[in-house]
A and B are shown apart, each in its own frame.
Chain A
Amino acid sequence: DVKVTQSSRYLVKRTGEKVFLECVQDMDHENMFWYRQDPGLGLRLIYFSYDVKMKEKGDIPEGYSVSREKKERFSLILESASTNQTSMYLCASSSRDRGFVQPQHFGDGTRLSIL
């Protein structure tokens, strides 16, 4: 079974802090994604990566950056945390099988509170 592991289930940080959210997958997937989930808005894509050192902006990249130095690890960075970044953050990974995209596998999520 694919395992996507997020480093923390709950995290509390202060405004202005630099925050790192880590995600590791164990199935050699090419694609990795960071989403945030807010009530009434559904899942929104922040950034995704389709290979090591490659990244693309999603729908809401402002205030965030990412790092993918190794295939299995995809980090989300809040450069200077603000209260409007309080949210549930979900990481996912997926692969291609004979050119067809496979379902995404999700981590359990990190509930981040910025005070």
Chain B
Amino acid sequence: KNEVEQSPQNLTAQEGEFITINCSYSVGISALHWLQQHPGGGIVSLFMLSSGKKKHGRLIATINIQEKHSSLHITASHPRDSAVYICAVENIGGTDKLIFGTGTRLQVFP
């Protein structure tokens, strides 16, 4: 079993829909990251959080440490949000390495 599990693996949506991507992990963590990868390869960091909730524009990330679960929400989705979204965690007490989920492929249609 992977230490970081994401669901769903694939997601399609119509423009304007509210989207939720889930991440569950089985290890103790010091922080959780959400990353975005567009076709072509480049990966950018969206959020790093260790508790509560963070918001940036139409993106919201939440984390529940007790339940070992995080969600990434996209409000008013747009075709340019189409990308792979990756959850990654920093293992508590470990080095600066990340443990990655396998990603959620999102396609938003006009």
A43 touching B40, Cβ below 8 Å = no
Interface size on A, residues (CB 8 A): 27
A94 touching B96, Cβ below 8 Å = yes
A42 touching B101, Cβ below 8 Å = yes
A101 touching B42, Cβ below 8 Å = no
Q: Counting CB contacts under 8 A, is B95 at the interface? A: yes
A42 touching B103, Cβ below 8 Å = yes
The one of A40, A44, A56, A90 in contact with B43, judged by C-beta atoms closer than 8 angstroms, is: A90
Q: Counting CB contacts under 8 A, is B1 at the interface? A: no
In Å, the complex CA distance between A75 and B64 comes to 38
| Residues 77-110 of chain B, each 1 if its beta carbon lies under 8 Å from chain A, else 0 | 0000000001010100001111011110000000
Q: Counting CB contacts under 8 A, is B27 at the interface? A: no
A108 touching B40, Cβ below 8 Å = yes
Q: Counting CB contacts under 8 A, is A12 at the interface? A: no
Q: Which residue of A lies closest to B88 (CB)?
A: A43
B100 touching A96, Cβ below 8 Å = no
Give B residues with C-beta under 8 Å from A. 30-31, 33, 40-45, 48, 86, 88, 90, 95-98, 100-103
Give A residues with C-beta under 8 Å from B. 31, 33, 40-45, 48, 50, 56, 58, 88, 90, 92, 94, 96, 101-109, 111
